[in-house]
Amino acid sequence: MNAPRPPDRLQQDRERFLAFAFAGADLLLEATLDGRIAFAAGAFRSRLGCEPASLLGRPAAAAVAAEDGAAFATCLALLAARGRIAPTALRLADAARTPAVLCGLARPGPDGAPLLCL
């Protein structure tokens, strides 16, 4: 009988990094420079009432309360210019306008264009 094959190093690293990411955040977004969602994962169903996949291609600002839209736009601009943003208090686009903390880091995408990880 064959013993189960241990996960390869790449898979272990991926799972580790995801665990670290979700230890500090309920929602993970990756946006293009024009603010469109390129990747979404996390508790979107319980927080915003939608599946992460339904957000792909939509403005990242859709996850933020409308009254915090200007602050969110400033965060995206700073992130694109500086590569990182300090933790910033915003509210989610749910009925309760749940307080949240936004952090971000820019990374190069597959085509070399920056992606904004929030």
DSSP state of 90: E
In this model, does residue 1 exceed pLDDT 60? Answer: no
Asked, for residue 74, whether it belongs to a domain, the answer is yes
Closest CA to 118 of 10, 1, 25, 20: 25
Residues 115, 107: contact at Cβ < 8 Å? yes
22 within some domain:
no
User: Are the C-beta atoms of 67 and 75 separated by less than 8 Å?
Assistant: no
Residue 94 lies in a domain: yes
Three-state DSSP at 6 gives coil
β-bridge mates for residue 8, sequence order: none
- pLDDT one-digit tens code per residue, 33-79: 899 999 999 999 999 999 999 999 999 999 999 999 999 999 999 99
Confidence bin at 16 (pLDDT 50/70/90): confident
Q: Is residue 23 part of a domain?
A: no
What total of structural domains would you count in the chain?
Answer: 1
Domain contains 16: no
* Integer CA distances (angstroms), 101 to 10, 29, 75, in order: 30, 13, 12
The model's pTM is: 0.81
Domain that holds residue 112: 28-117
Q: Which pLDDT value is given to residue 6?
A: 65
